[in-house]
Amino acid sequence: MSSTVGPTGTPTAGFVCHQRSSSSIDFAEVAKILEEIGAGQGASNTTTNTCLQHYLMTYAKTPGTEGEKLRRQTKYALQSSTPKIFDAIEFVLGAGFLQKEPTILVSDEHVGACSDIGGRDYNEDFCAYDTIAMGSSGIARFYGMYDGHSDNGNCARFVARELPSRLEEKFEHLSLLDHKAITNAIIEVVHDIEVQWREDKGRGGTTATCALEFNGEIYVINIGDSRTVLFKKSKLYQLSEDAKPDDERFRSLVEKMGNTVTPETRDSVARVNGVWALARDFGVPELSPRPKITFLSAADSPINDDPEKGIITYQKGGLLVLTTDGLLDNASNKELEDVLRTMDQKGYSPLEMARLLVQSNVALIPFGGTFDNTTVMVVRL
């Protein structure tokens, strides 16, 4: 696996791996939680794959073929319309205040990524661009965006390293890479990473929005409220759902796991147990890391696109944009679409686009914008 760099300029492959400890997950507690959601019968202390079985069972019980499941989830993502937090602020490219230079994380002909600490004490965002072997079937590109919290970004860096690496190991042993094999591999790897993080007594957590590009297909993996969008033919398409606690598609599982959702107020967004402003997450014990997976394929033209049925294609020259919610707090999809169109028409490179998006977002802080870290990756397909 070939890796790029993280926020500190250190290659992701160079981070020290957490050593596995002798401690283990309290599977009695896991079984109790799963019983509450109707999937825990027969679980025992020796069942180390209880959560994994639940994830796979839930996905398997979803009606339809593997392709139909992916299209259904893609339809939900395309129909998403999560509003920006600071709706009184207009996101304008440049905004006239571009003095601060963000940190460049990835600089490649087809990929650019930048990050800024914003008004925080630490930058807990992380992103990575990797190439991974798909067994004997070829090489895939893997783009990842991670928004860490409560541990100075340790969980984000851990997941950024482990996710592509473990997927590569999983694909090495698969003879057939169809929809079912790839989606199951993603679910299994997410589960394994979560287990190791808990066993190593990791603190904090992270979101993840990632894209696996292979053989003319892209699988978008989303956990939490970071976002992946596709920009093509001057129009933007959201490819992931923001896992917000007050969204009914996520709230049900949050409450079935024994949590409460604090409703949005004038001073605060909706939160799980009054703390977490998202409904899915790596690392946080109260939240499920089960990923939502969407799908798109390459085509010479968008003639066969049918967003109402979850069918979306991408063409050469289109843009894939992965971002943490630092940008999304200020910018709506429509505003993001407008600025991407402007930059695309001017012939900006992916790095120039990522840099200007981050700079423009940070420029809004003095006017009441988010203090959060902002990280953006732009991919020219």
Side-chain half-sphere CA neighbours of 196 within 13 A: 16
Q: Is position 329 within any domain?
A: no
Q: Residue 362 is encoded by which pair of tokens?
A: 């940070």
Mean pLDDT, rounded, for 192-221 = 95
Tell me what pLDDT residue 185 has.
96
Q: Is position 202 within any domain?
A: yes
Tell me what pLDDT residue 99 has.
63
Question: Structure pTM?
Answer: 0.86
CATH of the domain at 167: 3.60.40
The CA–CA distances, whole Å, from 163 to 146, 157, 183, 192, 242 equal 11, 10, 14, 10, 20
What is the number of domains present in the chain?
Answer: 1
Q: Is position 180 within any domain?
A: yes
pLDDT in tens, 144-153: 999 999 999 9
Single-letter residue type at 371: F
Tell which wins on pLDDT, 84 or 52.
84
pLDDT band at 215 (very low <50, low <70, confident <90, very high): very high
Q: Is position 339 within any domain?
A: no
Go through the chain and tell me how many residues it has. 381
| DSSP class per residue in 43-78 | --TT-TTHHHHHHHHHHHHSSS-HHHHHHHHHHHHH
Q: Is position 98 within any domain?
A: no
Q: Is position 367 within any domain?
A: no
Q: Judge whether residue 18 has pLDDT over 90.
A: no
Tell me what pLDDT residue 4 has.
67
Q: Is position 80 within any domain?
A: yes
Q: Domain span at residue 302?
A: 23-87+123-243+280-317
Q: Is position 103 within any domain?
A: no
Task: Look up tokens 């917000």; give the residue.
Answer: 244
- Rounded to whole angstroms, how far apart are CA atoms 374 and 74? 25
